[in-house]
Amino acid sequence: MRPLLVYVHFPWCLEKCPYCDFVSYKTDREAIDHDAYADAIVRELEARRPWLDGHALSSIFLGGGTPSLWAPHAIARVLEAIRASFPPPDPRQADLEITAECNPSSLDRAVARELVGAGVGRLSVGVQSLDGAQLKFLGRLHDVARAIDAIDAAVAEAPRVSADLIFGLPEQSPDEAASHAAELVDRGLSHLSAYALTIEPGTRFGELARRGRLPTATDDATADAFLAIEAALAARGLDHYEVSNYARPGQEARHNLGYWRGASYLGLGVAAYGYGPVDGGAIRYRNATDPERYVAGARVLRPGAPSLDDRVTVSVGALDAETLLRERIMLGLRLAEGLDLAAVARELGLDPSEVFRGRTAAIERLTRDGALAIEGTRLRIPPARRLGTDGVAARLF
């Protein structure tokens, strides 16, 4: 059976961060109809049952938004419904990875314990910084003490804990960025994600940047911070297994590895995406971004329905093999392991020799420049060139 990832989107936050371009809405926890949203998720799951045929559940990821705001009993209901929709797991897969994103402002030891009790085994905590001024710049609701308390609570209650950091902040030194990463790992993390600050259109930061009113770090400072974080975490035994991700051996984010390796995924909830192969290509769908529209549409869904109410799914697109190949190159090169281009070509029904023939000149140039390494039919980016991954991948399109 083929692996299937399941992603559930929870679209509410206590505050909308100025750099965030994910679909999320500022609201109070008490204003959320937790049960109605869980009902809608379960109905969508039942309607998408044909997607599950021939698949084994690989992982579940609750993202947002801020899933740590969701009532634990509602989370438990959704997780139980998902697991019950698949064949009984192989006993060797008893440690199914189930992750929930959390913000320090809504995570304490009691909440962490309730999330684990609901079935979550991995908590991903959005710390972003351990500097008060930087947290204020990023629009975060928590302070440094609350961030540390949240990490300690997660480590005390959950089997696996990850944290997110943002680097490339104005006036942030490389040593400071590395010290934040090191301090978090030293508190018991098994995984850390470190992202360079990116300015996205449609965000508050995007508008400030457009008007020339946003302070930013230089490219050199951002690159130096990236290398300093990498060195600090390597000294602590973490593998730099993906451009933005570090893990202790065996503690990689299996859900995200599935995305980078091209696995199928089922998206449930507001603004969720789903992806699955069909003959000669694949299809990708996108759900409605308005919570009220989504919940109303889900109420009329029928189990196993061949088509979904357009209030739930707003677009379905076909992807041909060449488009998928470009996506796989972009995603696969983010991994330290790289990708086996011939194997990916065969998987997509393409002729490996033709795929290589059309890229021979680009591969030779990139290899000569030290931006790409090739071993047989496997391509990977050397560690020193990882910050330029997207540019390297684009030259192979």
Residue 240: CA count within 13 A, CB half-sphere: 22
Percent of the chain with pLDDT over 70: 98
Q: Which run of H or of E encompasses 35?
A: helix 34-47
- Band the pLDDT of 51: cuts 50, 70, 90: confident
Hey, what CATH topology would domain 2-259 get? TIM Barrel (3.20.20)
Quote the pLDDT of residue 280. 79
| Confidence (pTM) | 0.96
Q: Where are the domains of the chain?
A: 2-259, 333-394
Bridge pairing between strands 2-10 and 55-64 = parallel
Residue 174 near residue 222, CB atoms below 8 Å = no
CA angle, corner 217, sides to 213 and 221, nearest 5? 170
Sequence-ordered list of residues with C-beta below 8 angstroms from that of 390, at least 6 positions apart, any chain: 330
Round to whole Å and give the CA distance between 170 and 176: 12
174-208 pLDDT per residue, tens: 999 999 999 999 999 999 999 999 999 999 999 99
Class (C level, CATH) for 333-394: mainly alpha
83-94 pLDDT per residue, tens: 999 987 655 556
Sign of the alpha-carbon torsion through 238, 240, 244, 248? negative
Round to whole Å and give the CA distance between 259 and 253: 10
Single-letter amino acid code for the residue at 381: I
323-351 pLDDT per residue, tens: 999 999 999 999 999 999 999 999 999 99
DSSP at 123? E
